[in-house]
Structure 1
């Protein structure tokens, strides 16, 4: 998600995100991983729309993500 076949960045749509999340159990928690070199774990905050874009707010840092997260996201 988020890349074309040739590796170029592309915009992720709401439909893309919904399709990806359908692979997981509905009761699972969701976190954001940021900073590939030292992944931090952030909670999801408020969700809003402005200027034709859906924004997912940061709900605060919960520490650092496990090493397996970095590997799973391809942040080697």
Structure 2
């Protein structure tokens, strides 16, 4: 998600995000991983629509993400 087959970045749509999240159990908590070199764990904040886009707010840093997170996101 977020890249097409030639490696160029593309925008993620609501449909893309929903499709990705359907792979997981509905009761599983969601976190944002920020900063590839030293991944931080952030909570998901409010969600809003403005300027023709959906915005996901930052719910605050919870700590640092485990090494496995960076590996699974392809950051290492």
TM-score, normalised via structure 1 length: 0.99
2:63 paired with 1:63: yes
**Structure 2 portions without partners, runs of 5+:** none
Map of 1:39 onto structure 2: 39
Map of 1:73 onto structure 2: 73
Q: Write the distance in 2 (CA, Å) between the matches of 1:51 and 1:37.
A: 31
Map of 2:20 onto structure 1: 20
**Structure 1 portions without partners, runs of 5+:** none
TM-score, normalised via structure 2 length: 0.99
Map of 2:3 onto structure 1: 3
Q: Which runs of 4+ in 1 moved over 6 A?
A: none
Map of 2:30 onto structure 1: 30
Q: How many residues align?
A: 76
Map of 2:51 onto structure 1: 51
